[in-house]
């Protein structure tokens, strides 16, 4: 789906795009990280690890967000929003409160889970915390060896723990993941058993691209990437 559609087209599809989800709870995990629980008819939705839902954030703009947790019987689902303050989506989700209603599309996209690979590595930032939360139960259930690396702003350093994530390492968001030499010195690349892991690299486009180059030249693992945002670019 496009991140922006003309108003006349939005009006044409108004019936299809009308609010279908109601907010039942909001909580601030940090000043920048807001978790929202929605209620709606999700009985026919197909949730896969890595799929994203499009949220209507203004009359003409749509943005991608990941369902972190869902319970189809109860009709509830959670999304974890990064309130970075730079865009219409961030500002809109910052204002959302209990009982608000909005349009959220069914999930679609790229399945990021490789069930046949024992070692699973996931890299991301604040925008990837929801994906990590959706990944964790299946990684544990299928007894994978797994680790998460997150690059996070200072105020979000304790968020993975507050969200109940496990086997994670938090790095400051200081440009290190733009430095190939620094990345190649990470402990991940020093352990032979991780050479054939599944590498899921998501979040900031530049960090993802740099990390991908290092994984490619240091391992024979399967690499899946998806840029979630890029400096100066609206609505990836
Ligand atoms: C498949 C997929 C799943 C995603 N899941 C989530 C999710 O679960 N939670 C979540 O919070 N985000 C998620 N994102 C990222 C989110 O869609 C983008 O961050 C989006 O750009 C936010 O829209 P916006 O209107 O706030 O900013 P935009 O209007 O898109 O961008 C305006 C400015 O803000 C900057 N910007 C955008 N995002 C960030 C950021 N995170 N940090 C700092 N600056 C930023 C842009 O570079 C640009 O300069 C996902 C993206 C994809 C593609």
Whichever domain contains 145, its CATH number is 3.40.50.80
**Residue 130 pLDDT:** 98
Same domain, 99 and 122: no
Confidence of residue 19 (pLDDT cuts 50, 70, 90): confident
Confidence of residue 13 (pLDDT cuts 50, 70, 90): low
Three-class SS of 125-147: CHHHHHHHHHHHHHHHHCCCEEE
Tens of pLDDT, residue by residue over 205-226, are 999 999 999 999 999 999 999 9
236 or 143: whose pLDDT is higher?
A: 143
Tell me: pLDDT of 38 over 90: yes
| Structural domain span for residue 125 | 112-229
Query: What is the Cα–Cα distance from 174 to 171, expressed in whole angstroms?
Result: 8
% of the chain surpassing 70 pLDDT: 96
Tens of pLDDT, residue by residue over 68-94, are 999 999 999 999 999 999 999 999 999
Cα 119 vs. chain centroid, distance in angstroms? 20
Ligand 1 atom closest to the CA of 3, numbered from 1: 30
Confidence of residue 236 (pLDDT cuts 50, 70, 90): confident
Same domain, 179 and 217: yes
**Residue 17 pLDDT:** 74
Tell me: pLDDT of 1 over 60: no
**Residue of 90, 111, 232 with the most ligand 1 atoms within 8 Å of its CB, for mutation:** 90
Average pLDDT of 84-107? 96
Residue among 202, 195, 186 nearest 132 (CA): 202
Q: How far is the CA of 192 from the centre of ligand 1 (A)?
A: 35
> Helix, strand, or coil here: 46?
coil
Query: What is the Cα–Cα distance from 113 to 116, expressed in whole angstroms?
Result: 9
Q: How far is the CA of 53 from the centre of ligand 1 (A)?
A: 13
Query: How many separate domains does the chain show?
Result: 2
The structure tokens 């969200």 sit at: 163
Same domain, 29 and 67: yes
Same domain, 76 and 38: yes
**Residue 14 pLDDT:** 62
Same domain, 21 and 72: yes
User: What is the domain-level CATH number for residue 93?
Assistant: 2.40.30.10
> What average pLDDT does the chain have?
94
Ligand 1 touching residue 86 (CB < 6 A): yes
Looking at 57, 84, 108, the residue that finishes a domain is: 108
Residue among 81, 77, 51, 62 nearest 159 (CA): 81
Confidence of residue 118 (pLDDT cuts 50, 70, 90): very high
Average pLDDT of 126-138? 98
198 or 44: whose pLDDT is higher?
A: 198
**Residue 18 pLDDT:** 81
Ligand 1 atom closest to the CA of 88, numbered from 1: 25
Confidence of residue 12 (pLDDT cuts 50, 70, 90): low
Ligand 1 touching residue 52 (CB < 6 A): yes
Ligand 1 touching residue 234 (CB < 6 A): yes
């Amino acid at each position: 789906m496009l991140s922006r559609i003309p108003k006349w087209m939005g009006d044409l599809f108004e019936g299809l795009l009308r609010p279908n989800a109601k907010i039942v709870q909001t909580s601030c995990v940090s000043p920048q990280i807001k978790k929202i629980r929605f209620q709606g008819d999700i009985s026919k939705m197909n949730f896969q690890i890595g799929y994203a839902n499009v949220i209507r954030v203004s009359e003409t703009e749509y943005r991608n967000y990941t369902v972190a947790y869902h319970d189809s019987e109860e009709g509830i689902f959670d999304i974890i929003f990064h309130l970075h303050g730079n865009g219409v989506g961030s500002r809109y989700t910052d204002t959302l409160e209990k009982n608000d209603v909005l349009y959220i599309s069914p999930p679609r996209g790229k399945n990021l889970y490789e069930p046949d690979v024992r070692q699973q590595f996931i890299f991301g930032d604040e925008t990837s915390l929801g994906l990590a939360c959706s990944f964790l139960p299946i990684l544990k259930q299928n007894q994978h060896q797994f680790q998460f690396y997150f690059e996070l702003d200072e105020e979000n350093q304790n968020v993975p723990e507050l969200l109940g994530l496990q086997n994670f390492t938090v790095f400051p968001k200081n440009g290190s993941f733009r430095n190939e030499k620094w990345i190649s010195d990470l402990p991940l690349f020093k352990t032979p058993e991780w050479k054939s892991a599944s590498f899921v690299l998501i979040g900031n486009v530049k960090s993802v691209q740099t990390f991908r180059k290092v994984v490619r030249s240091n391992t024979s693992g399967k690499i899946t990437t998806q840029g979630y945002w890029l400096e100066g670019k609206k609505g990836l």
